[in-house]
C-alpha cells in the first residue's frame, strides 16, 4: 500500500488547474528568453532566446526561424540567468533500504528502476534545488548492488527511464556486516572471481551478463570507494577487467590522481559543506588540474553550495557549472539528451536571478521537458508577438 504524501491531497486540484495550461503548452512552441542563457558551459547567450518544441530544445539563438519565433508563446525571464538542469550522477533519494539487498552481497542484476517511488518526498523536493535528472543508484550496502535507473523529476512526480550503469561498492557499508564478505580483500576477491567466471563463461545467468556488458565496455561501472586502499582496489579491477570506471565518493582521490588521469576514470564527489576539510574543498581544483572529469552528487540541497565552495577554493566557474550539468550527464552516457541546452536536448533548465554559482542569486524556476514544474513563470503572453524583435539578438559566444 503506497503511503500518500500530504501533497497528494492537493494533487488533484493542482493537476486539474495545471493540466489546462499544460496541454496548451505542449502543443505550442515556447520562446524562452533571459538576460543570460547558458546553453552549455562553452556556449552562453547574452539576451538570448531558445525555442522549445515538444519538450525539446528545437532552436538556439540566431538559428530560430522568424516564423517559429513569431508563433511561439513567449516566456521571458528578464534579467535572470538560465542554466541547464542539474544532473545527479548517483543518488539514493533516501531509499537506501529499498536499494540494497541486505542478505546477499552480490546482486549486479537487480534494477533500481523497480525500487523507484514516484511519490517519494525527496524526489518531489529535487526541482527546487535545480535537479532535473538523476541516476537512482543501488545503495553502497552490497558489493555488487545492481543497475541504476535514469529518473527525471517532473511536475509532482518523476518518471523512470533506462537502466544505466552497474553499481559496485568497496566501502565498509558493503563489507562490515554479519555476512560475507567482511573485509576489503574478501570483497575484491568476490568481484575478481565473479568477473573471471563471467569472462570465461563458467558463470551464466543475468548477473554474469551484466558483468560481461561491463567488461565489454557497453555498460559503465560506478564503484563506491573512499579511502586509498579502496580506490586502488577499484582501479586495479578496472585495469584488469577493462571496466569503464567511475568512482563514487572518492574522498581520497587526491592520492591517486595520476592513476585517475591515466585510466581516464570519472569521479562523483560527495557534496561539500561548511564542515568540509580544506583537503576536500581543494580536491575539485586538483582533479580539474589533473584533467579528471568529476561531478558533484550527495545532498541535492548542497549542489550549488558545493560548486560555489569549489570555486572559492580555486576551481574555475565554467568547470564548476559543468560539474553540475554536462559532466554527470556524460558519465551517465546521456550527454545527448541532458546536461545542456543544445539543439535536440531535453528542455530541462533552471532559472536563477543571477549567476547560479553566486549563492546570493535566488532560484526562480525549474523546467523539465519544456514544462514549468516548480517556481514562478514570468507573465507570459500566449499570443503571437509583434515581430519587432531584432532578428539576431544574441551572438553565440
Residue 355: exposure state from Cβ atoms within 10 A (0-12, 13-18, ≥19): middle
Q: Would you tell me how many other CB atoms lie within 10 Å of the CB of residue 362?
A: 11
Shortest Å, Cβ 27 to other proteins? 56
In this structure, what C-alpha cell is assigned to residue 310?
Answer: 569549489
How far does CA 137 lie from the centroid of its chain? 11
Q: Which of 68, 101, 228, 377 binds other proteins (CB under 8 A)?
A: 228
Say if residue 181 is preceded by a cis peptide, omega within 30 of 0. yes
Q: Does 242 bind other proteins (CB under 8 A)?
A: no
* Window of 18-26, 65-73, 228-236, 356-364 that interacts with other proteins by CB under 8 A: 228-236
User: How would you classify residue 66: left for phi > 0, otherwise alpha for psi between -120 and 50, otherwise beta?
Assistant: alpha
- Count of residues that bind other proteins according to CB under 8 A: 26
Contact, 195 vs 166, CB < 8 A? no
Q: Does 331 bind other proteins (CB under 8 A)?
A: no
Q: Does 240 bind other proteins (CB under 8 A)?
A: no
Q: Which of 256, 323, 341, 373 binds other proteins (CB under 8 A)?
A: 256
Shortest Å, Cβ 278 to other proteins? 9
* Window of 4-12, 255-263, 295-303, 377-385 that interacts with other proteins by CB under 8 A: 255-263
Shortest Å, Cβ 131 to other proteins? 33
Q: 173 to 212, contacts with other proteins by CB under 8 A?
A: 175-176, 178-186, 188-189, 193, 202
Instruction: Give the helix, strand, coil percentages of the chain, each rounded to 5.
Output: 35, 25, 40
Contact, 230 vs 207, CB < 8 A? no
**Considering beta carbons, is residue 119 or 228 the nearer one to other proteins?**
228
Q: Does 236 bind other proteins (CB under 8 A)?
A: yes
Contacts of 205 (CB under 8 A, 6+ apart): 109
Residue 345: exposure state from Cβ atoms within 10 A (0-12, 13-18, ≥19): buried
Radius of gyration over every alpha carbon of the chain, rounded to an integer in angstroms: 22
Q: Which of 172, 273, 375, 378 binds other proteins (CB under 8 A)?
A: 172
Q: Does 229 bind other proteins (CB under 8 A)?
A: yes
Shortest Å, Cβ 16 to other proteins? 49
Shortest Å, Cβ 246 to other proteins? 20
Shortest Å, Cβ 395 to other proteins? 42
Residue numbers of the site for other proteins (CB under 8 A)?
A: 103, 172, 175-176, 178-186, 188-189, 193, 202, 227-229, 232-233, 236, 255-256, 259
Amino acid at each position: 500500500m503506497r503511503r500518500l504524501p500530504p501533497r497528494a491531497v492537493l494533487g488533484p486540484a493542482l493537476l486539474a488547474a495545471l493540466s489546462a495550461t499544460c496541454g496548451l503548452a505542449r502543443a505550442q512552441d515556447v520562446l524562452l528568453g533571459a538576460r543570460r542563457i547558458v546553453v552549455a558551459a562553452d556556449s552562453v547567450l547574452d539576451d538570448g532566446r531558445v525555442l522549445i518544441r515538444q519538450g525539446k530544445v528545437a532552436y538556439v539563438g540566431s538559428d530560430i526561424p522568424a516564423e517559429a519565433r513569431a508563433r511561439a508563446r513567449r516566456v521571458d525571464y528578464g534579467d535572470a540567468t538560465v542554466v541547464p538542469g542539474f544532473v545527479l550522477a548517483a543518488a539514493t533519494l533516501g531509499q537506501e533500504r529499498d536499494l540494497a539487498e541486505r542478505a546477499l552481497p552480490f546482486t549486479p542484476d537487480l534494477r533500481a528502476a523497480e525500487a523507484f517511488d514516484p511519490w517519494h518526498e525527496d524526489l518531489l523536493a529535487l526541482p527546487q534545488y535545480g535537479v532535473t535528472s538523476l541516476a537512482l543508484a543501488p545503495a553502497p550496502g552490497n558489493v555488487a548492488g545492481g543497475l541504476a535507473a535514469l529518473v527525471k523529476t517532473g511536475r509532482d512526480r518523476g518518471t523512470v527511464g533506462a537502466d544505466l550503469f552497474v553499481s559496485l561498492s568497496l566501502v565498509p557499508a558493503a563489507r562490515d556486516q554479519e555476512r560475507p564478505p567482511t573485509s576489503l580483500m574478501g570483497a575484491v576477491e568476490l568481484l575478481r572471481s565473479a568477473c573471471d567466471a563471467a569472462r570465461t563463461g563458467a558463470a551464466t545467468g543475468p548477473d554474469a551478463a551484466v558483468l560481461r556488458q561491463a567488461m565489454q565496455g557497453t555498460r559503465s561501472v560506478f564503484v563506491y570507494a573512499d579511502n586509498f586502499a579502496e580506490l586502488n582496489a577499484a582501479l586495479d579491477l578496472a585495469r584488469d577487467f577493462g571496466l569503464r570506471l567511475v568512482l563514487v565518493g572518492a574522498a581520497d582521490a587526491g592520492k591517486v590522481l595520476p592513476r585517475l588521469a591515466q585510466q581516464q576514470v570519472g569521479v562523483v564527489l560527495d557534496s561539500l559543506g561548511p564542515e568540509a576539510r580544506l583537503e576536500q574543498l581543494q580536491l575539485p581544483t586538483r582533479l580539474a588540474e589533473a584533467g579528471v572529469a568529476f561531478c558533484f552528487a550527495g545532498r541535492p540541497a548542497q549542489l550549488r553550495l558545493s560548486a560555489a565552495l569549489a570555486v572559492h577554493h580555486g576551481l574555475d566557474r565554467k568547470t564548476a557549472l559543468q560539474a553540475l550539468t554536462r559532466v554527470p550527464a556524460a558519465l551517465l552516457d546521456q550527454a545527448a539528451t541532458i546536461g545542456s541546452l543544445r539543439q535536440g536536448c531535453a528542455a530541462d533548465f533552471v532559472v536563477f536571478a543571477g549567476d547560479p554559482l553566486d549563492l546570493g542569486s535566488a532560484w526562480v524556476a525549474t523546467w523539465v521537458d519544456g514544462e514549468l514544474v516548480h517556481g514562478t513563470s514570468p507573465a507570459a503572453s500566449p499570443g503571437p508577438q509583434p515581430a519587432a524583435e531584432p532578428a539576431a539578438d544574441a551572438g553565440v559566444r
